[in-house]
Amino acid sequence: MKKIFLFLLLITFSTQTLNAQKIDVYKRPERSERSRDYDAIHYRLKLFFDLKNKTFKGENRITLTPLRDGFNRCILDAEEFKVTEVLNQRYLPLKFKQTDRKLIVNLLRTYSYGDTLFFTVKYNGKDPKAGLFFNEETPENPSLVSTISWPENAHHWFPCYDYPNDKVTQEVIVTVKSEYRVLSNGKLINVTEDKENKTKTYHWLQDLPHSTYLFMLAIGPYEVIRDSLGSTPINYWVYKKDVENARFIFRNTPKMMDFYNNLFGFKYPWAKYDQVTIPGQGGGAEATSATVLDQNVIHDKKAEQDFSWETVIAHELSHQWWGDLITLRTWAHTWMNESFATYSDYLYTRYAKGEDEAAVALLGKKNAYLREAHTKYMHPIVFNRYNKPSDVFNRHTYQKGASVLHMLRFVLGDESFFRTLQYFLHKYAFQVVDTYDFMNAVKKVTGQNLDWFFNQWVFKPGHPIFDISYSWNNKTKKVNLRVIQTQDTTKGIPVYKTPVIIEVVTPGEKFCRKVWIKKKREEFEFSVNEKPLMVRFDKGNFLLKEWSFKKGIDELIYQLKNDDVIGKMWAASELLRFKDEYNAMNSLIEIAYNDPFWAVRRSAVETIAKIKDKKYIDFFKAKCGDNNSKVRTSALRALGDFKNPDLIKFFEERFEKDSSYLAQAEALRSIGKCGDKSVIPFLKQASTMKSPRNVIKRAAEWALKKIEEK
């Protein structure tokens, strides 16, 4: 959820030490699970909206049961609206006090543990700054009302207990002008029309319990595209102008749902599934039975190669299980929602696009975390120090956690891992959970005590940094592999215990061995009849790690041509050390032309680009014709870095002919690097082209600025 990290750069790390952390997260306050003295059972919301004046009137009938005896006062979260009246179940007025953030209701009598009571809070609000938004009409979107209740913003549009450790059912009854449609959680009970007042009232019921941050509401002149998976309705709520593109963008949603149904062994649990577009979200936000997506999810087919939201769509759908069906007990355990959803979108990528695409996607997740560890901070995945809940929604709880789940799968094996996920969902369905619940599920299903695994990967910060080397003894016919962990362990980072697969390839044989690393320094011996062509550490790429592994040119060339895609990409980057060797450069060029997978070709292009030798200009020009836009973009960037005015016509031609917005944008930036004032008219004309995220306009403006600076 929340500002999904899109379009990650795939940077392979091979550094030895981390830079100093720039943010001391341990200075943040320590948080604990919120206590409560009642269990909210049901909220019945009635809301009346005036979009023109950005006002609303509401009432919430709150049904609850006390969790203690002597219950005579109820404290609710309430902010940015004014409470006008509170009535008990006999419609008698109750005394109340409203502060900036709380509503304190004094009951007429004292209730005991296990009693059930309800009262109704009436209130009105105007254009709140959080939780609920009145979106004004723009060229990109019509006038709308939208909500983002995450993380604790539901109480900005209705009074409630606003923390995830309580789950309720709900009704949302909304009256609006007749030209608008209303979407909320659950199933639509009915729509009634008041022709005299030109209004419609929508009645939605969410009859299975969920947490308040998952409440949603969207109001606008939406077009609804109907779809389904069997008897489960699947709908796409979009602006009228976006209908045609939306059919294409959301087309795989039923396929995703079917995949997750089978993978998780738990059929989609809610009454329907909707996806709705709004302005200003930036990514996706899950809500029960619905997902709110930024309107930029809609783009033309040309943009799909560079701006696909399929991973985001898959991620948000998986939250219907990981986050909505089971929900984090406290924000410290954010990974129970986000890591599991991030790993789910990787699993869908593997299913839909194959092993190579999935491997590159997983590498992107690992490197996203490593960048954060280098530039911001390191902390445990389960971490209870934050100023606000959003502080712990970061690349530790998304991408690192997903990588940790991949390693857990490696340790347990596929059958045990997925059996554990299925058991966990069934045991804790519609409940709140924490990491200890999941650890116990692992023990229950597999019989394995993996506390050591969770302790080092989830409850401690950091990751291993390996220094790897090996030697070949021709007399004994043995390979001696040395693995040293070099991470700084003075700040809580452990010496890691982990299995790892070692692959040894010789001219006559190939084999893999799983070994266990348990100490700071380990040595392993393997008997082989011939000198290895390649020794591979972490075959299968399971570990979250940094590493250095100095190899000779012959082995790197062999690895470049024969390993899996991740090994090939790593070998391509390592061959930069041999930039003056003909065989190394010739092999990179060969791979850049002939490897079947785009990411390997791009890695070869990017390695050659770092040499900045003009003799490769024709090579880069040729790679601007690659069938993958990401490779073409890298080649255009490399050409631009030569700052050669003779290439301007070529860049202009590529801008006119390329089918990728990103490649076109890179062509414009390259013009800015090498052009003079004569190219200004071309750049100004190019800046008028519409493109996703205005990448063309922004590239043209960047190029114009570069020319002005000369």
Tell me the per-residue pLDDT of 130-176, one tens digit each, with 9 for 90 and over. 999 999 999 999 999 999 999 999 999 999 999 999 999 999 999 99
φ, ψ of residue 550 to 5 degrees: the values are -70, 125
Complete DSSP assignment for 510-539? EEEEEEEE-SSEEEEEEE-SS--SEEEEST
Give the Cα separation of 197 and 195 in Å (integer): 6
Q: What is the mean pLDDT of residues 236-256?
A: 98
Structure tokens, 58: 């509401």
Q: Where are the domains of the chain?
A: 37-221, 464-550
Give the Cα separation of 285 and 216 in Å (integer): 10
* CATH annotation of 464-550: 2.60.40.1840
Q: Do domains 37-221 and 464-550 have the same CATH topology?
A: yes
What's the fold here for domain 37-221?
Immunoglobulin-like (2.60.40)
pLDDT per position as a tens digit, 326-346: 999 999 999 999 999 999 999
Selection from 343, 336, 350 nearest residue 369 by Cα: 343
Structure tokens, 374: 């280098």
Distance spanning both ends of the chain, measured CA to CA: 43
Give the Cα separation of 423 and 454 in Å (integer): 19
Q: What is the mean pLDDT of residues 275-304?
A: 97
Angle (CA) 680 610 691, round 5°: 40
Assign 574 to helix, strand or coil.
helix
Label residue 611 exposed, middle or buried (CB < 10 Å: 0-12, 13-18, 19+): middle
Structure tokens, 667: 């062509």
Selection from 500, 497, 547, 548 nearest residue 524 by Cα: 500
Outline where 524-628 has alpha helix (H): 553-562, 565-574, 582-594, 598-609, 617-623
Assign 610 to helix, strand or coil.
coil
Query: What residues are paired with 71 via a beta bridge?
Result: 111
- Judge whether 8 and 365 are in contact, CB under 8 Å: yes
Q: What is the mean pLDDT of residues 118-138?
A: 98
Give the Cα separation of 49 and 257 in Å (integer): 34
* pLDDT tops 90 at residue 21: no
For the entire predicted model, the pTM comes to: 0.96
Complete DSSP assignment for 321-377? TBTTTEEESSGGGTHHHHHHHHHHHHHHHHHHH-HHHHHHHHHHHHHHHHHHHHHT-
Average pLDDT score over the chain: 96
Q: What is the mean pLDDT of residues 534-554?
A: 98
